[in-house]
Structure 1
């Protein structure tokens, strides 16, 4: 069936922009059209094109979204309800906070967004405000932090099963981002940069040697959430990461492979094995769409809060000062040791003392042997004499 000329569709980038401007997830658009979330994702990526009745329904949805966006732009006061904000920030994925086209939205937030009072409600301002209010590096960092940190803490919790480690991993990732801010600010996907850094720190095998992480944390109170988290933690770290990025965050397969630094076939095998393991333990989650909703629900159940961006920036600066001073102290100690060595070293060559040698012609020293007959007579004579010595002559007076 050929596409109907009466139902033109905008380019894939415009479809994605309209959905994000209306604060809708791919799953919500899929429900309106009557297709799966993966189908909407393929339409927005340009890999496939809707046809027939689906094309008509999709075109109608996009037209309604365009009208809503135009009305919001006319009012210049876009607002979100707390329920929509909480649902969008549950996982922070492409269907949630860091939505489809995360590099563009996160990059815009870094360059132009003004951080909101509530981190879960941070959003890029309209183009008029972007042109009028350039941000300082600290403000741009705070905007990126408010945009990504709350959802990233929840994602890291699903990755590790530890609340404190999740918060620590996100804070360390943003501390490193602040230290390398010129590089991160120019990155096409600053949110992905921070996410990859947080995941790497959270999955580090060195945490097992820390005393505070040798004992498990209390599991979720809900039995179904507890079962899902146990299944996730039983997966290998690469499988868990691939499943979270693809089915939780909403990245496509090539992006998941790139972020995990693996080939696309290897990432696909990890994803399939992870889904099979989850379906074997929890048959209700064999559907990827249901698994996506359950991951989002489990992430939003834990009320995990990240630190304030100012606290993270101060911590990053303190850590940088500490390591700078430590490097300076080590360098000074090394220079002092080298100077002391040069000062106490000999200034001329002193040949070593050779080992002793045997001198020819000198008889060896003989140990004392038995006494001869003459020596025995002399010894007897000496013993027979008076022990007090010879008599002394005393002079007499006449």
Structure 2
């Protein structure tokens, strides 16, 4: 059995140009082809390509936009929705701080809610997003040219939020108050009982709306492994909450659960300032450690011996020496000899004694 060739698609830059020329937003394209806005953004950035029926629908839509561009007169595109962030960046050059602030304002609110679904902790969710963006600001030349800066920050925030070391921190040893609604508490309890990789896969696919290859790439797993995790996670949720067996209903409930909590992120300048302060702290710590290492090395060189001193050779065992015998009782012959010597100390010609005058 042979597979039919895939429907040809224009380059990613042309896909985006055709959409903008047709006065369509990414959300409108996603609605027409049955995908999500994040998926359409990935198609236009070239990070992923559609497959199957979505590819055919997307190709037909782009062909119709290309034909309309040829036949219709040139007009200024109009849209009731806000322009996509990437379109604004292409129109007006931004400074690094302005580009970072725009990315933070676009991604941080949603990332805090997603991190809350991962951890069930409001403070840890906010801290995870701030740390991820602080790291992004420190590596901004790398993040700014990434194909998907939002995905880069999201993966970093998820990694920090799911770190097992948080349970050793005093502030996170005790659980936070659960949601007020009973259904929200039940859903959060089911999510937190899933293994972290399963929870992350379920959130990315059914919560964020990534497709399976994108989910597998972000979780650093193969596509079959990601699909297996997703199926097991859905099965666990459906077992505890049968009303959420439908993926569409699960997606809606995840969005509702995240939106009911008052989760706020810090302002972009605060995050940038915190990142710079942290960078200065670690730079000074590295300098102090280097100075201490240099001082220790200099002291070692100063106090080290200047000539070779051979080590003392270990003692050698001497053969043929009789063992030392401890003093014990005298034999009969030795006792007789002792008595004889004691008795002959004052008598007999054998001895000389001084004469008293």
Q: Shared fold by TM > 0.5?
A: yes
Q: CA deviation at 1:328?
A: 1.2
Once the two structures are TM-superposed, the CA of residue 279 in structure 1 deviates from its matched residue by: 0.9
Between stretches 348-357 and 134-143, larger displacement belongs to 348-357
1:269 maps onto 2:228 in alignment: yes
Partner residue of 1:388?
A: none
Q: 1:231 to 1:162 in 2, by over 3 A?
A: same
Distance apart, 1:222 and its partner CA: 0.9
2:227 aligned with 1:222: no
- The answer as to whether partners of 2:119 and 2:125 remain within 8 angstroms in 1 is yes
Deviation at 1:190, TM superposition (A): 0.4
- Could you tell me which residue of structure 1 aligns to residue 50 of structure 2? 45
Which stretches in structure 2 are left out of the alignment for 5+ residues? 1-8, 44-48, 330-337, 347-357
Q: Give, in whole Å, the separation in 1 of the partners of 2:229 and 2:300.
A: 56
Provide closer, same or farther for how the CA distance between residues 376 and 264 of structure 1 changes in structure 2, counting only shifts above 3 A. Answer: farther
Equivalent-residue separation in structure 1 for 2:79 and 2:54 (angstroms): 33
Partner Cα separation in structure 1 for residue 236 and residue 201 of structure 2 = 13
Q: Distance in 2 between matches of 1:168 and 1:49?
A: 37
- Give the 3 Å change call, closer, same or farther, for CA 19–199 of structure 1 in structure 2: farther
- 1:322 corresponds to which residue? 281
Q: Distance in 2 between matches of 1:338 and 1:20?
A: 66
Once residues 332 and 356 of structure 1 are traced to their aligned partners in structure 2, the CA distance between those partners, rounded to angstroms, is: 45
Would you say the 8 A contact 1:175–1:316 is kept in 2?
yes
Secondary structure at the aligned position of 2:53 is classed as coil
Structure 1 position 135, deviation (Å): 1.2
Contact 1:246 1:252 survives alignment (8 Å): yes
Contact persistence 2:23–2:79 (CA under 8 A): no
SS in structure 2 at match of 1:201: helix
Change (3 A) 1:355 1:301: same
1:297-331 Cα deviation digits (max 9, x unpaired): 11111121100111111111111111111111111
Equivalent position to 1:349, from 297, 302, 308: 308
Task: State the TM-score, normalized to the length of structure 2.
Answer: 0.72
TM-score (norm 1): 0.65
Change in CA separation of 1:328 and 1:216 when aligned onto 2, cut-off 3 Å: same
Look up the match of 1:154.
113
Q: Do 1:19 and 1:25's aligned partners in 2 also have CA atoms closer than 8 Å?
A: no
Q: Assess if the C-alpha contact under 8 Å between 1:37 and 1:289 holds in 2.
A: no
Match of 1:201 among 148, 156, 160: 160
